[in-house]
A and B are shown apart, each in its own frame.
Chain A
């Protein structure tokens, strides 16, 4: 256990559905991240939050909407997704938010998303 939990672990949704992914970290960290991992591709950074403020949006389509109500919780709201959005979505956290150099990141187990 890394101290980062994600729910649900598996999600199947239609293209017209709206769903949310949840991430919670119990490590007292200040930065949280969303990554997308597709088959045969490197891990793609989607969003970064430092002290609840979004500091990076890596050109992610608006059908993905992140929310960070506090430093311990991170959500990814999904709507009108496409089949190519099917992937493993990983949440991570790190102690320092926005500091240089980049800290060790602690990952959750991921949500396996399938879009039909």
Chain B
């Protein structure tokens, strides 16, 4: 499997509920980033968490990182219909050179009004 795999592939919830998406990766990382993409558009950076951090918050977003399990989770609280999008994790692996992020296949989140 690839560096940066999101789980689940698709998630459908009701407005107001929380959404949790997970990301697993294989190699040691410098940081892990989460991005959001509305259909057919570019990606928008949400949050970056460094390898020495365990949790980070930004508004309704909460990201955790467990380097021992090589996994991260993105929690969106009190979801809104406007949160409907694809969410990608991207890893900056220690072993790679240059400015390279490796993206997962994404989780498609649908928030129903």
Contacts and interface: CB of A to CB of B under 8 A. Distances in A.
Interface stretch (A12-20, A48-56, A68-76, A78-86): A48-56
Contacts, number: 73
Given A102-B31, A104-B48, A90 B99 contact: no
Contacts of A100: 30
Interface residues of B, number: 25
A4 B42 CA distance: 10
B45 to A, nearest CB: 5
Contacts of B45: 104-106
Interface stretch (B12-20, B55-63, B70-78, B100-108): B100-108
A110 to B, nearest CB: 5
A88 B40 CA distance: 8
Contacts of B31: 101-102
A50 B98 CA distance: 9
A113 interface: no
B24 interface: no
The 3 A-B pairs at the shortest CB distance, nearest first, are namely A101-B30, A107-B42, A102-B92
Contacts of A33: 99
A104 B30 CA distance: 12
A61 interface: no
Contact of A41 (B30, B42, B105): B105
B43 interface: yes
Given A41-B105, A42-B104, A109 B99 contact: no
Nearest to B3: A42
B44 A2 contact: yes
B20 to A, nearest CB: 21
A43 B105 CA distance: 7
Interface string B13-39: 000000000000000001101010000
Contacts of A66: none
B98 A56 contact: yes
